[in-house]
Amino acid sequence: MHRILNLSAAGRPARRAAGRAACLAALLALLAACAAPPLADPYSDAPETAPDLSRPVLDAPSYAEALRVWRNATDVNAWIGARFQYDPERALLLSETQRERGLRLPITEPALFFAHPRGVCIDLARFGVETLRRIDPAARASYVMIEFDPRVIGGQVLRRHWVAGFERDGQHYYFADSKRPGHIAGPYTSTEEYIAEYARYRGRPIVAWQERLSYERQLRQASRTQVSSPQPRP
């Protein structure tokens, strides 16, 4: 027994050294993760990849027919992933700079978007929200307006970004995002949880956000520099 105890004591320095090395490795891994670059190009709302034309899509010859055959967000999302094309020129025309100059462009209505699925984040979000409301009202589709710290691209200030949100089995999901069309983010327990993760993905601080029933301008209810709480359900 005495010999065994001596052997155990002799091994303690090696075990302590191994423990310190493991702690150092874990710390370095944590620091590397914190310093990791964003997962997406922070300067653009355009998709990171081209449309996936190989994905299975429940297609239809018209928007009216699509409303008849689509059942839920999964069907809408698959079509978006295969058909959506980003329009960078339109993005500049819808910038904060142009809004301040009084330029107001109409947001593409869903039927027209279905026929010509090219646009920017707000066009896509409108298509996702209004389509889902018609085929699956129980999903409680809503707009999520995200306000990043401003970026100037091509002399235009770009700040706002729009996605569509919905609910399923008490959980929150988000889709119709021009940055990653064909992707459904979730489940989340709250929109706050999604916003925190989305800021990391985009590599841009989010200074404010709102859940909205409409994409149209509403009366200001909170400071733009504060994170807004979701609107109460009726």
- Indicate the domain borders of the chain: 2-34, 63-212
Tell me which residues of the chain have a pLDDT lower than 70.
1-39, 97-103, 152-157, 218-234
Pick from 160, 175, 169: which is nearest to 77 by CA?
175
Q: Which amino acid is at 233?
A: R
Report the CATH fold assignment for 63-212. Answer: C8orf32 fold (3.10.620)
Helix (H, G, I), strand (E, B) or coil at 156: strand
pLDDT for the residue 99: 63
Distance CA 100, CA 94 (A): 10
Q: Could you tell me how many helices (H) and strands (E) the chain has, helices first?
A: 9, 7
pLDDT for the residue 101: 64
pLDDT for the residue 145: 97
pLDDT for the residue 70: 98
pLDDT for the residue 149: 86
pLDDT for the residue 51: 83
